[in-house]
Structures are given as structure tokens and as C-alpha cells.
Amino acid sequence: MLVEIENHITDLLPAYVLDALTDVELAQVAEHLAICRTCQLEYESLQAVADDLPLALAQTRPPDTVKTSLMHAIHTAQAINQPVTQAASGQRLSDLFRTRLPALGLLLIVLLAVGNLLLWRRLALVDQQALTPMRVVNIASTQNSAGAAGTLIMDPNGNYGTLVVDNLAALDTSHQYQVWLVRGGQRISGGVFSVNPEGYASLEILAPMPLIQYDSIGVTVEPYGGSPGPTGAKVLGSSLPH
């Protein structure tokens, strides 16, 4: 059975690919596709683009702010009447496709594919971390830094890690904090850092051996750029698990 050109539903196909039509429209498009070869070819072309776009993206790690934004969006969505919101959003998207050219639908396919891929990668990273939890070591403050806190976050095998500190006093421009790793009584520098006005900083620890092989970690106040060995007041310190 042939369908006259004026009855083609190409303007609904982008929304059909994205599953953004109402039930009535879905039935209309499905019925039409069953008998119209022209619209079948258009649908196959749009579907191919949607399927191939994620594979064409370069592998990259999203910024850490993505997790914060994602969790905020999730908590916000939970506080709203989701069925009403989702229905309204779906109707607006459906109306948009009905009143715009198919080219606009193809553009939205691109944007949604990119956004969904980034979300999928971020969720995959969170799931992976949940299955293989990181090692977390609390670094105690000393009498020289009452109220300060430090946390060493290592990979599951203890090979490398990042030190996060909070509520440390901001130093003058001629001094920095220096990290020390201790093994068998010998100390090596793990890096230097400065804190922001709120006393916060993070530092990737640099060491020639896996962190798990060291006995303890400490932080002292040193001249700007660091010292060959500890010379200033110790502000944080803790033993490291093996």
C-alpha cells in the first residue's frame, strides 16, 4: 500500500527515535512506518545517527563538579511531583518536535546522546568505586593545629592517593605546608601545598613507592618550596595501615 506524500510523518520521527511521543502519536507513527518505505528510510537514518554518536566520542573523564551537580539534580527531582513534571516535560518536547523541522530533532539527538553518555560514564565511575571502595585514613591534628582535619584517600591497593586537609591556618607567603612519608625511620617529602582562606587544600601525594609501604604520614610548616627535612611545627600526623 502506498501513502501519499502529504501523509508522511517525517516531522515526528526525531521524537519517535528519542521515545518522546505520546501514546497516541506512537501508535500513529508505528502504523505509518509499517506501510511507508519513505518514512522507514528516514527513521533508519535517524536511528543510525543516534546509535553511532556515543561511539564517536573521545574517552574522557568528566570534571569532579559533575557528581555534585548530578546529586543536586537527583535530590531536587525527588522533592517534586515527578509524574506531573515528567508528563509536562514530555508534552513540551512532543510539541516542540511537531512544530519544528526534522533537522532540529537531529540536533537534539546529538545533544541528548552526548549528555547521556557523560551521565552514563559518571554513574559507571560511581558504581565502580562502590564495588571497590577506596582506602580512607584519617590524619589527626596536633596541639599546633587544634580543629584541623586531614584525610588520605588511597586507591583500593594503597598504591597512590590524595591528601585532603581542612581548617588549617593560612600561612604567610614565605611558608608552605610539607607532607612527609616515614618508612623505617627515614623521611621523604610527599609534596608541598598552601591552603585557601578557609583552610582547605588537596594534594596528590608523590612517592617513589606505593603509599601502603610507608609506616606513617605527617605534615609540617616549612619555608616556601619545602625543606630537605622537617624543620617546622607538626600540624597533622598518623600511622598508615599495611
**Structural domain tally of the chain?**
2
Where a domain ends, among 131, 158, 183?
A: 131
- The answer to whether residues 54 and 75 belong to one domain is yes
Rounded Cα gap, residues 33 and 64, in angstroms = 44
- The answer to whether residues 110 and 174 belong to one domain is no
- The answer to whether residues 126 and 28 belong to one domain is yes
- The answer to whether residues 122 and 44 belong to one domain is yes
- The answer to whether residues 83 and 153 belong to one domain is no
* Cβ atoms < 10 Å from Cβ of 108: 19
Where a domain ends, among 89, 110, 131?
A: 131
Give me the pLDDT at residue 47, please.
74
pLDDT tens-digit readout, 16-45: 777 777 878 877 877 887 788 887 888 777
What is the CATH number for 156? 2.60.40
Q: Is the model more confident about 139 or about 133?
A: 139
Q: Is the model more confident about 12 or about 132?
A: 12
Of 168, 180, 188, the residue nearest 217 (C-alpha): 180
- The answer to whether residues 100 and 206 belong to one domain is no
Task: Name, in order, each residue with C-beta under 8 angstroms of 132's C-beta and a sequence gap of 6 or more.
Answer: 156
Where a domain ends, among 109, 131, 153?
A: 131
Domain that holds residue 72: 5-131
Q: Is the model more confident about 111 or about 220?
A: 220
- The answer to whether residues 104 and 142 belong to one domain is no
Record the cell numbers describing residue 99, joined without a space. Answer: 512544530
- The answer to whether residues 83 and 167 belong to one domain is no
**176 in Cβ contact with 225 (< 8 Å):** yes
Rounded Cα gap, residues 10 and 36, in angstroms = 11
In degrees and rounded to multiples of 5, residue 157 shows phi and psi of: -95, 0
Rounded Cα gap, residues 145 and 172, in angstroms = 16
**181 in Cβ contact with 207 (< 8 Å):** yes
Half-sphere exposure of residue 107: CA atoms within 13 angstroms, side-chain side = 7
- The answer to whether residues 126 and 10 belong to one domain is yes
Q: Mean pLDDT across the stretch 188-197?
A: 94
